Amino acid sequence: MKCEKCNEKAVYRNPDLCRTHLFKYVEGTVRQTIRQYNLFDKKDKICVAVSGGKDSTMLIYLLKKFGYDVEGLAIDEGIKRYRDKSLEFLKRFCKEQGIKLKIVAYKDEYGRTLDEMVKTTKYPCAACGPLRREMLNKYSKGFDKIATGHNLDDESQAVMLNLIKNNMALLLRSGPKLDKIEGFVQRVKPLYLLPERLVRAYTFMKGLDVDFEECPHMTNSFRNRIRQVLNKYESVNPGTKMALALAGEGVNFKTHKEFKNQAFSKSITAGNDVTENV
């Protein structure tokens, strides 16, 4: 199998790309996403939400490579044998790359680790997600943007999830650049158009020092069930994930601002978390 851009052996299928063109494709897609959606520029101070996993590590690596002013912010939820390990990867990576990194912990902020908080619950993500976002907002104050490692798979899952739950406030916040909310640093997603498998291939072939393991609580989440369904559907109907992500973006951009504000206020009144797609 040959690379579709040159005669070299392809190391990746659909699109068929050799190593060199895989790197070019991934980097070009991220550059294009930043430009096309006007996510930020070289004057902005960017806080990258990092974890030691493949998505956020690749993101901060690329933004630094492209010459942006970045710092890493990591949340230590206190998940034994998972987060302690991924943070070791992260510390090593940031040190090697000369990237400033701040780590803040649930234990210091809330007095308990996530492991201590969720002993009795079946759904740890429901407790963890809002706390993560609260801390990200708090500790990114002073930056112009927060960049997160959400990729195309994450985005399509979020659109599907918000449709199924009829969560209009969050559905209306789909897309690579969330609306500005007073008191919050604006969030952007430079990996928005990249499928997860491309992120995996890039980080692996570049030899980036990342933890490929996933959070052990992930398996119990509603999002994980959506993920499995979408992966199956994508394998028989390629393009499903992109179509869902772009549909969410279209709903966001085409919806009248006043309607979005109403949905947003209703959601706040109902006590929903409206700062991010969960």
Q: Which residues bind ligand SF4 (CB under 6 A)?
A: 77, 124-125, 128-129, 215, 217-218
Nearer to ligand SF4, 124 or 149 (CB): 124
> C-beta of 227: minimal distance to ligand SF4 in Å?
11
Q: Are 165 and 273 in contact (CB under 8 A)?
A: no
> C-beta of 59: minimal distance to ligand SF4 in Å?
16
Q: Are 75 and 135 in contact (CB under 8 A)?
A: yes
CA distances from 224 to 75, 178, 186, 200, 214 (A): 21, 23, 26, 18, 11
> C-beta of 215: minimal distance to ligand SF4 in Å?
3
SS3 (DSSP) at 257: helix
Residue 140's Cα: distance from chain center in Å? 16
Strand 69-76 with 45-50, pairing: parallel
Nearer to ligand SF4, 124 or 176 (CB): 124
Distance, in Å, from the CA atom of 127 to the CA atom of 15, rounded to the nearest integer, reads 39
Nearer to ligand SF4, 173 or 217 (CB): 217
> C-beta of 136: minimal distance to ligand SF4 in Å?
12
> C-beta of 217: minimal distance to ligand SF4 in Å?
4
Nearer to ligand SF4, 215 or 263 (CB): 215
Distance, in Å, from the CA atom of 105 to the CA atom of 26, rounded to the nearest integer, reads 32
Nearer to ligand SF4, 20 or 228 (CB): 228
Q: Please report the beta strands in the chain, taking only residues with DSSP state E, as ranges in sequence order.
A: 45-50, 69-76, 101-105, 145-147, 186-188
